[in-house]
Structure 1
Amino acid sequence: MASKPGILTDWPWKHLGSFKYVVLAPWVVHSMYSYMVKDESERDFSNFLIFPFLLSRMLHNQIWISLSRYRTAKGNNRIVDKSIEFDQVDRERNWDDQILFNGTLFYLGASTLKGGSHLPIWRTDGVIITILLHAGPVEFLYYWLHRALHHHYLYSRYHSHHHSSIVTEPITSVIHPFAEHIAYFTLFAIPLLTVVLTGTASIVSFAGYVTYIDFMNNLGHCNFELIPKWVFSIFPPLKYLMYTPS
């Protein structure tokens, strides 16, 4: 919890506890039922894939968590040479809330936005647009959003919750109050909404972009160096494509 919790700190389904996954149940059941009963020409494969994609994100994060804890236990190449506190483990147990939140918005967008359903597997123009928008306006706006979150007013009400974890784990990257996640999703949705509204969206542009963000978040908070320094010496532009824990 932040030092001075602000509005929209708690997730809307916090009172559901371990039953919070029922939030997605209607969307999942509807997408699967529609895919099975509709004619082949009417089936929405992209909508059907949303739930498996959410599961793959959970598996991706869990692999990072397990790898990080193994490396932390070994004590090799740790950046912050301390053990993980039990309080931190308890505080970060809700790391899957952001996946539930994203999943709800994906289903909502697929059912309401023109161009948000029946996506092709690949469109080159949409992939290029996604990359350029992230490298340009999204990264620029994220920098200033992050700086704003370190201002004492927003920091004490929101971002201090994230920095309560001194020995970061990969999943520390998504441990934020609900309001902060709304700001992040609004920002990272810029490329996704653009390709949808321009009719250039594809399954690969969506899944690839979100997976890239997940990978960078996990890598940047894992508390050990996975990429050796000599790689950056051989290919200096790599520093513009990723960031490291140190």
Structure 2
Amino acid sequence: MVAPLSTWPLENLGNFKYLLYGPLVPKVLYSRRANEVLPQQDVWCLHLLIICALRSAIYTACTNHSNAHYLTLKRRILPQGVGFKQIDSEWHWDNFIILQAFMACWSFPFLVDLPLWNSKGVLYALTFHVGISEPLYYWVHRYLHSDYFFSNYHSLHHSSSATVCHCSNMLQMTPQLSEPLDQDLVFLQNELSLWDRK
């Protein structure tokens, strides 16, 4: 029996998983057609779609560059290249982008009226990142290296023979759920800066 949340529910969908972006697209298109001032939530959905497309393009460009034999022959850190077995096992590397897009779109409805910039927010972001987010990420990752969690969850991350940028996100679903949650603490800095202003 497989450990709970050790596989992505999106794996059964194959390439049809991109249809999950469907609810975001009509929301943006309808708000554009209405010729009104866009509600903040609809602008947020548009920004998420743009960010997801850019992240996918950057990951693909980095991987194509790192796998281009004529460019990286003399600059390789590891002598072995990426084989077809590794490419097949990491084909659906972008599951985490879909998951994080939905988490961002529907997890912060109370943050609709945030200002674009607040200088206190930088201090809060630095404090949360250095004081909470980084230590939490370190201890969660260290916990994933314990016997049970490594064999059931984290071993896929270390199973790649040649490390490329997709390997870092070749995780099961559970670590992808925990990492954005500790990163969400950083986003709360904007809300805290609003409380200071009131």
> What band does the TM-score fall into relative to the shorter chain?
0.7 to 0.9
Structure 1, residues 168-212: CA drift from partner, whole Å, max 9, x if none?
A: 0111110001112111121222112x1354365xxxxxxxxxxxx
Partner of 2:110: 114
Partner of 1:236: none
Question: Are 2:9 and 1:12 equivalent residues in the alignment?
Answer: yes
Report the alpha carbon displacement of residue 163 of structure 1 after superposing the two structures with TM. Answer: 0.4
For residue 158 of structure 1, the aligned residue among 136, 139, 153 is: 153
Residue type of the alignment partner of 1:175:
M
Partner of 1:81: 79
TM-score (norm 2): 0.86
Residue type of the alignment partner of 1:101:
L
Partner of 1:223: none
For residue 177 of structure 2, the aligned residue among 182, 190, 194 is: 182
Q: Distance in 1 between matches of 2:74 and 2:134?
A: 32
Task: State how 1:40-79 maps to structure 2 within 5 Å.
Answer: 40=37, 42=39, 44-70=42-68, 74-79=72-77
Shift >6 Å, 4+ stretches: none
Partner of 2:95: 97
Residue type of the alignment partner of 2:169:
V
Task: State how 1:224-239 maps to structure 2 within 5 Å.
Answer: none
Report the alpha carbon displacement of residue 87 of structure 1 after superposing the two structures with TM. Answer: 1.2
Report the alpha carbon displacement of residue 167 of structure 1 after superposing the two structures with TM. Answer: 1.1
Give the 3 Å change call, closer, same or farther, for CA 175–137 of structure 1 in structure 2.
same
Unpaired segments ≥5 residues, structure 2: none
Q: Distance in 2 between matches of 1:150 and 1:41?
A: 46
Q: Distance in 2 between matches of 1:82 and 1:96?
A: 24
Q: Distance in 1 between matches of 2:178 and 2:138?
A: 13
Give the 3 Å change call, closer, same or farther, for CA 123–185 of structure 1 in structure 2.
same
Give aligned pairs, total.
193
Give the 3 Å change call, closer, same or farther, for CA 42–88 of structure 1 in structure 2.
closer
Give the 3 Å change call, closer, same or farther, for CA 41–177 of structure 1 in structure 2.
closer
Give the 3 Å change call, closer, same or farther, for CA 101–47 of structure 1 in structure 2.
same
Residue type of the alignment partner of 2:128:
L
Structure 1, residues 10-63: CA drift from partner, whole Å, max 9, x if none?
A: 212222111101112112221331243152264653332211111111111112
For residue 144 of structure 2, the aligned residue among 145, 149, 152 is: 149
Q: Distance in 2 between matches of 1:71 and 1:189?
A: 38
Residue type of the alignment partner of 2:10:
W
Partner of 2:189: 195
Q: Distance in 1 between matches of 2:185 and 2:6?
A: 24
TM-score (norm 1): 0.70
| Contact 1:35/1:45 (<8 A) preserved | no
RMSD: 2.3
